[in-house]
Amino acid sequence: MILETERLTLAPLTSSDAPHVYPFLSDPEVMAHWDQAPIEDPDEVEACVVAQVAEMDEGKAHYWAVRQSNTGAFLGCCELVDIDKRHHRAELRFMVAREGWGQGYGLEAVRALLTHAASIGLKRLVARTHVGDQKAERLLERLGFEAEGYLKGHVQREGERRDCRLFGLLL
């Protein structure tokens, strides 16, 4: 399903989006607060995108490419993953390429996801941030997410354990 906002078009991710995803998945600054280190191999990014498309085909997740509506410029991705239909819940994730930072694109895209999540019957969303990702935490709080927990050593990245914060929202 395509989601549209005032400035953005969120279209289901396709394997042909991999070359557009690669620049920000390989950007150390964009990936600083992500579970995985920057990916330097374009083939690895392509394999990741192909796997995400397969998850969508199986109904396990929804992934969207985020583009500026007027220019078609690729700005990032957002997703609903770990969809639990029995309990009507999912995890929300989002990533904006550096050239889109500070312009409200993340807020606009996530708002569209919240509306969509409610429309498909989800009642609860969670989002997880790495400790120190204040921009993401502020965005989530602005949209009504509440801090629900601290996950000590939740992620292993580049040989170290990273702490995360858990946020939740009832729709």
Q: What is the pLDDT of residue 120?
A: 95
30 within domain boundaries: yes
16 within domain boundaries: yes
Domain that holds residue 83: 3-129
CA–CA distance, 105 with 11 (Å, rounded to integer): 15
pTM: 0.91
146 within domain boundaries: no
Tell me the average pLDDT across 65-85.
96
Q: What is the pLDDT of residue 112?
A: 97
Phi, then psi, of 133 in degrees rounded to 5? -90, 70
User: Do residues 164 and 128 lie in contact, with contact meaning Cβ atoms separated by under 8 Å?
Assistant: yes
42 within domain boundaries: yes
Q: Tell me the pLDDT tens digit for each residue of 132-149.
A: 999 999 999 999 999 999
83 within domain boundaries: yes
149 within domain boundaries: no
Domain count, the chain: 1
For residue 67, the domain's CATH number is 3.40.630.30
Q: What is the pLDDT of residue 24?
A: 87
